[in-house]
């Protein structure tokens, strides 16, 4: 942050970035309520397997653990990119953004594999209330991660073409908020959906 | 290619439906024709559609709201006519059509009349009340407007292509599920709510940030005008309540279109989840609607009583308390759906508790009027009409909050009477009062008072005649949403209610006439001072209409009722020694592109034209990315341009040295603007 702050930005711009950050926080809170509603629904529905597969039958802890590892790692690498940004090292920012993207893409890859596998074995979202809730909750998170991936690509292009200008840096910080937010949601998913499901 | 859209979707199956469609299409053509006739397309496109100026956005929201008020009222009049004649007869509306009409009436009135009206008033006034030059995110504001309009557009299209939902404005499953209602009607309802809901959520974020971050120096939280306070709490409610609606709608969409089982009767679905989620949004929603109206009443009552607001702090605290409590009562909407007695009594008690802060407010308004020198202009009439009528509605609400009574009354017309009793005087009168109160601020001339007064009397008398019989009918056991009936005792009351709707129609006409007459005679009612009512808050410090930047010099606030205080201290119309450059947001079409694409997306999803839906999504994403990469979205208004505008303002002020209120009997005589030298 320090170098963003020390970039020559006018007090007015600084104020605008602060407003944008605050607005983004509010968006995240609103989004958190969406997830809260989805979690609540999942918890109500988890027993409604309608004679179909139950959590024990469909969750694979290894895969969920691998997904978790990828996502947590991507949050870390994003942090490294942020440090590089503060240092004003554009090359490093690009490098670590790329790594973050790959890790996030790996997560999505695993998740798509998980979903298609489940659908193939007859455990798709139309099988039961439990599976509808599962696919919607985890899928909504996955959708967010995909949006985040697109955003990382856009960010990459902006850093590449525009350099570490103040507006770019300000967007970068919000992307960071978003990415870490998704990480936190995932941790809750892991502990509310997968762990109780397989234990 | 066209999904499930076929030629049969056009409304040629019934004369009533076809004429509704014809009116819609002709109305659209008439507007387009008028714009062409006046050669105004360029002006409309470059100064309005692409505008990011909060004042213009506010005006467009209110125009949308008034059009939808008319549409919603036509629906209501059709229902009243049907029920007046449908004793032992089919009347003129087939059941399926009647069901579409009550569904569209409720949906329109809540989502596309009240919500845009609220956003419109907020846009028009909040930035000026807090001494700000703009909202925090002008571009996002434009996106919100156009997404809301897209939702309303889908609403209107549903009249022409396909049918509308028959599941009421609440869309309860399993009836709204695909098994019982397979057509596109419910999908229309779902997608329009979904699209407009995004716009609303962004409005909430925008205004919360604006009010927290953009206040003028000295404008502390406890100096905020009451309307701004209520918008602050409303924004919080929007941010936390709308996600529940989004989730409920999304799940129902998944159920209907992709075979999910959230709310179905089979395969482990549970429809109570929908009802909980819906009202988790729905109850706060009624406070989202009514709190800003309370804000308007607070402003109006103190201005036209020529006194400071009584009990400012208690009004603020009551607003916050209502905001909090509104999240704790949602279950009173389904007392009869099998919760335990303990749960029901908890929610019954919480509901009753909300009447306490609301009562505090009523007393504050009354005490503001007490010993004031009241000036009975139309906004004040609406306020007094509200106070009297609202208390009756509140009492019937406390009755309904008692689960045993609710067991007798639920889904009868008693409930319909109750919520109209809250929502017409409480919400609609508030917005109309705000519309008449702030109209001169938006356009620079006042609305005709004679027609405003007539409109008020028609509305209030019509309201009583139309809705008091429904209380009686409810006690006689008439269910809501009835298409025809065979109980003779009901008909007289329904005929009286029909007469009431007719009187309300006269009120609607008066509103229209008022607008036309006022525009025609605007030169007699010019507001040259910018402060036609001898106002108290900062929006009256700007010219009418305000300059694009609102304030050439951001005001310094030294007390509550900031503008009043400045007039007292004689610093109100001071001319600054020099002006400075002002940074302004550039106009952009990105907002309307996103809005239109959002509407196209909704339409495509309703009709299963997935390629088109995908295309619309790509357009939206592309526009967002384009915007997000654009670092050049502002321009500078130079000091000399500012000076030119301000010079003109002071020239105007010199022409109107006297406060226009000074002719009123009982005018307290205060702080007339000093003519500039
Ligand atoms: C202008 C005068 C109005 C009249 C004459 C009127 C009349 C009616 C009628 C006849 C019904 C159907 C009652 C039944 O099914 O038994 C109804 C329902 C309803 N009205 Fe109004 N109304 C008016 C204004 C409003 C306003 C301003 C709002 C909200 C801002 C509103 C919101 C609703 C809602 C939410 C329903 C329930 C729809 C449903 O059953 O799904 N109405 N109204
Ligand atoms: Cu409620």
For residue B306, give the nearest of B662, B559, B571, B653 by alpha carbon: B662
Residue B204, pLDDT score: 98
Q: How far, in Å, is the centroid of ligand 1 from the Cα of B106? A: 6
What is the per-residue pLDDT across B92-119, written as a single tens digit (0 to 9) for each?
999 999 999 999 999 999 999 999 999 9
DSSP 3-state helix, strand, coil percentages of chain B (rounded to 5)?
70, 0, 30
* Residue B251: closest C-alpha in chain A: A136
A25 has a pLDDT exceeding 60: yes
Our answer to whether residue B352 is catalytic in this structure is: no
Question: What distance in Å separates the CA atoms of residue A76 and residue A83, rounded to the nearest whole number?
Answer: 11
Counting residues of chain B whose pLDDT is more than 70, the rounded percentage is: 98
* Largest CA-CA distance found in chain B, in angstroms, rounded: 80
Q: B3 forms bridges with which residues in the sheet?
A: none
Q: What is the ipTM of this complex?
A: 0.94
Q: How far is A182 from chain B (nearest CA, A)?
A: 17
Among the partner residues A44, A128, A171, nearest to B628 by beta-carbon distance: A171
Ligand 2 (single-atom ion) residues, CB below 5 Å: B 283
Find the mean pLDDT for residues B131-158.
96
Q: Which of B420, B429, B478 to mutate to test the pocket of ligand 1 (most atoms within 8 A of CB)?
A: B420
Question: pLDDT at position B72, please?
Answer: 96
Q: What is the average pLDDT value for chain B, to the nearest integer?
A: 94
State residue B669's pLDDT score. 60
The answer to whether residue A152 scores a pLDDT higher than 50 is yes
**Does residue A6 have a pLDDT over 80?**
no
Q: Say yes or no to pLDDT of A2 above 50.
A: no
- Going from the C-alpha of B454 to that of each of B382, B428, B437, B447, B507, the distances in angstroms are 11, 16, 16, 13, 7
Half-sphere exposure of A183 (CA within 13 A, CB side): 20
Q: Which of A23, A28, A168, A173 should be substituted to probe chain B, the one whose Cβ sees the most B Cβ atoms within 10 Å? A: A23
From B206, B243, B269, residue closest to A34, measured CB to CB: B243
Q: Report residues whose beta carbon is within 6 angstroms of any ligand 1 atom.
A: B 73, 76, 79-80, 102-103, 105-106, 109-110, 113-114, 168-169, 413, 416, 420, 423-424, 427-428, 466, 480-481, 501, 504
Q: Say if the Cβ atoms of B212 and A20 lie within 8 Å.
A: no
* Least reliable range by pLDDT among A9-13, A95-99, A131-135, B625-629: A9-13
Q: What is the pLDDT of residues B482-520, one digit of tens each?
A: 999 999 999 999 999 999 999 999 999 999 999 999 999
Quote the ligand 1 centre to B103 CA distance (angstroms).
Answer: 9
Q: Rounded distance, CA B544 to CA A125, Å? A: 57
Is B61 a known active-site residue?
yes
- Give the tokens for residue A90: 């554009």
> Does the structure show a pLDDT above 50 at B571?
yes
Burial A152-168 (b: 16+ CB within 10 A, else e): bebbbebbeeeebebbb
How many whole angstroms from B164 Cα to the centroid of ligand 2? 25
> Token pair of B590, please?
């990105």
Residue B598 is predicted with a pLDDT of 97
pLDDT digits (tens, 9 = 90+) for A155-179: 999 999 999 999 999 999 999 999 9
Please tell me which residue of chain B has the smallest CA distance to A166.
Answer: B631
Q: Phi and psi at residue B446, in whole multiples of 5°?
A: -90, 155
Q: Is residue A180 predicted with pLDDT exceeding 60?
A: yes
The ligand whose atoms approach the alpha carbon of B416 most closely is 1
- Count of helix runs (H) and strand runs (E) in chain A: 8, 0
Interface of A with B in 163-182 (CB under 8 A): 165, 167, 171
Report the gap between the CA of B235 and the closest CA in chain A (Å). Answer: 10
Q: What is the average per-residue pLDDT within A92-102?
A: 97
**Catalytic site includes residue B344:** no
3-state secondary structure B201-242: HHHHHHHHHHHHHCCCCCCCHHHCCHHHHHHHHHHHHHHHHH
Confidence class of residue A4 from pLDDT cuts 50, 70 and 90?
A: low
Q: What is the pLDDT of residue B675?
A: 45
Q: Exposed, middle or buried by CB within 10 Å (0-12, 13-18, 19+), for B585? A: buried
CA A46–ligand 2 middle distance (angstroms): 29
Output the pLDDT for position B56.
97
- Above 60 in pLDDT, residue A150? yes
Question: Can you tell me the distance from the alpha carbon of B545 to that of B541, in angstroms, rounded to the nearest whole number?
Answer: 11
Average pLDDT of the segment spanning A5-9? 61
Confidence (pLDDT) at B436: 97
**Phi, psi (rounded to 5 degrees) for B519:** -65, -40
Ligand 2 centre from B165 Cα, in Å?
23
Q: What are the phi and psi torsion angles at B394 (to 5°)?
A: -60, -40
pLDDT digits (tens, 9 = 90+) for B190-249: 999 999 999 999 999 999 999 999 999 999 999 999 999 999 999 999 999 999 999 999
A148 touches chain B (CB under 8 A): no
Compute φ and ψ for B93, nearest 5 degrees: -110, 125
| Residue A150 sits at the chain B interface (C-beta within 8 Å) | yes
* Helix residue ranges per DSSP H, A46-128: 55-58, 61-86, 90-120
- The two tokens of residue B82 are 């049907």
**Can you tell me the distance from the alpha carbon of A139 to that of B507, in angstroms, rounded to the nearest whole number?**
50
The encoded tokens of residue A48 equal: 């409604």
Report the candidate in A108, A134, A140 with the shortest Cα–Cα distance to residue A35.
A140
* Shortest distance, CA A6 to any CA of chain B (angstroms): 19
Contact residues on chain A for B258, CB-CB shorter than 8 A: 125-126
**Residues B327, B252, B64: CA angle, nearest 5 degrees:** 70
Q: Please name the residue whose Cα sits nearest to atom 38 of ligand 1.
A: B106
Q: What is the pLDDT confidence band of residue B670, given thresholds at 50, 70 and 90?
A: low
User: What is the rounded CA–CA span in Å between residue B257 and residue B613?
Assistant: 14
Q: Catalytic annotation on B660?
A: no
Q: Whose CA is nearest to atom 7 of ligand 1?
A: B76
Contacts of A109 (CB under 8 A, 6+ apart): none
Neighbours of A147 (CB within 10 A): 13
């Amino acid at each position: 942050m320090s170098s963003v702050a020390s970039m020559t930005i006018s007090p007015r711009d600084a104020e605008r970035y602060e407003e944008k950050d605050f607005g983004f926080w509010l968006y995240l809170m609103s989004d958190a309520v969406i997830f809260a509603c989805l979690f609540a629904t999942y918890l109500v529905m988890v027993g409604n397997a309608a004679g179909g597969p139950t959590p024990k039958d469909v969750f694979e802890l290894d895969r969920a653990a691998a997904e978790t590892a990828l996502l947590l790692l991507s949050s870390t690498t994003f942090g490294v990119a942020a440090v590089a940004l503060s240092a004003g090292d554009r090359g490093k920012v690009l490098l670590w953004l790329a790594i973050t993207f790959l890790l996030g893409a790996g997560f999505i890859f695993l998740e798509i594999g998980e979903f298609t596998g489940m659908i193939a074995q007859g455990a798709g979202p139309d099988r039961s209330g439990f599976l509808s809730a599962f696919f919607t909750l985890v899928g909504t998170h996955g959708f967010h991660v995909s949006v985040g991936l697109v955003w990382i690509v856009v960010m990459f292009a902006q850093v590449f073409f525009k350099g570490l200008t103040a507006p770019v840096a300000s967007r970068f910080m919000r992307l960071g908020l978003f990415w870490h937010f998704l990480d936190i949601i995932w941790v809750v998913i892991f502990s509310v959906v997968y762990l109780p499901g397989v234990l | 290619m066209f999904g499930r859209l076929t030629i049969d979707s056009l409304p040629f199956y019934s004369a009533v439906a076809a004429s509704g469609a014809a009116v819609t299409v002709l109305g659209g053509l008439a507007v387009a024709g008028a714009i062409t006739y006046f050669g105004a397309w360029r002006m409309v496109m470059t100064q309005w559609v692409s505008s990011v100026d909060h004042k213009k956005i506010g005006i467009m929201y209110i125009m949308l709201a008034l059009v939808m008020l008319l549409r919603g009222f036509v629906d209501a009049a059709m229902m009243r006519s049907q029920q007046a004649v449908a004793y032992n007869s089919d009347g003129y509306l087939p059941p399926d059509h009647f069901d579409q009409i009550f569904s569209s009436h409720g949906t329109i009135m809540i989502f596309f009349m009240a919500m845009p009206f609220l956003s419109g008033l907020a846009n028009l006034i909040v930035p000026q009340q807090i001494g700000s030059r703009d909202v925090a995110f002008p571009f996002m504001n434009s996106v919100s407007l156009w997404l809301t309009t897209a939702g309303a557009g889908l609403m209107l299209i549903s009249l022409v292509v396909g049918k509308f939902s028959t599941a009421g404005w609440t869309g309860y499953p399993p009836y709204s599920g695909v098994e019982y209602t397979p057509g596109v009607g419910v999908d229309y309802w779902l997608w329009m709510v979904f699209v407009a809901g995004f716009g609303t959520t962004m409005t909430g974020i925008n205004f919360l940030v604006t009010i927290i971050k953009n206040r003028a120096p000295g404008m502390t939280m406890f100096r905020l005008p009451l309307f701004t306070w209520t918008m602050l709490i409303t924004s919080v409610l929007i941010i936390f309540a709308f996600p529940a609606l989004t989730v409920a709608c999304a799940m129902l969409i998944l159920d209907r279109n992709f075979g999910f089982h959230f709310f179905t009767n089979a395969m482990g679905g549970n429809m109570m989840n929908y009802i909980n989620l819906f009202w988790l949004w729905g109850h706060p929603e009624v406070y989202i609607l009514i709190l800003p109206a309370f804000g308007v009443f607070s402003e109006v009552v103190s201005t036209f009583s020529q006194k400071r607001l009584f009990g400012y702090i208690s009004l603020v605290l009551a607003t916050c308390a209502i905001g909090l409590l509104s999240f704790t009562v949602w279950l009173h909407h389904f007392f009869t759906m099998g919760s335990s007695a303990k749960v029901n009594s908890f929610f019954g008690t919480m509901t009753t508790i909300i009447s306490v802060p609301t009562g505090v407010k009523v007393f504050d308004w009354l005490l503001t009027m007490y010993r004031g020198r009241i000036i009975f202009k139309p906004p004040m009439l609406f306020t007094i009409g509200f106070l009297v009528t609202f208390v009756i509605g509140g009492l019937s609400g406390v009755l309904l909050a008692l689960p045993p009574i609710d067991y007798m009354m639920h889904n009868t017309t008693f409930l319909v009477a109750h919520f109209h009793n809250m929502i017409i005087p409480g919400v609609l009168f508030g917005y109309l009062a705000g519309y008449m109160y702030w109209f001169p601020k938006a356009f620079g001339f006042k609305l005709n008072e004679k027609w405003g007064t007539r409109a008020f009397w028609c509305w209030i008398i019509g309201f009583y005649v139309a809705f008091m019989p429904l209380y009686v009918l409810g006690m006689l056991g008439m269910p809501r949403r009835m298409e025809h009936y065979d109980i003779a005792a009901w008909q007289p009351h329904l005929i009286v209610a029909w007469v009431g709707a007719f009187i309300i129609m006269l009120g609607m006409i008066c509103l229209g006439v008022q607008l036309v007459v006022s525009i025609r005679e605007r030169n007699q009612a010019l507001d040259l001072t910018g402060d036609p009512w001898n106002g108290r808050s900062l929006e009256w410090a700007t010219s009418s209409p305000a300059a694009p930047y609102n304030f050439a010099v951001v005001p310094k606030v030294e007390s509550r009722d900031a503008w009043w205080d400045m007039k007292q201290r004689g610093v109100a119309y001071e001319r600054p020694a020099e002006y400075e450059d002002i940074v302004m947001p550039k106009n952009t079409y990105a907002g309307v592109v996103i809005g239109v694409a959002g509407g196209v997306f909704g339409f495509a999803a309703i009709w299963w034209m997935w390629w088109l839906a995908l295309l619309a999504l790509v357009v939206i994403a592309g526009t967002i990315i384009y915007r997000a990469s654009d670092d050049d979205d502002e321009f500078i208004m130079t000091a000399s341009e500012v000076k030119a505008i301000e010079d003109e303002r002071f020239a105007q002020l010199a022409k109107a040295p006297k406060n226009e209120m000074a002719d009123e009997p009982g005018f307290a005589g205060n702080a007339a603007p000093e003519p500039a030298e």
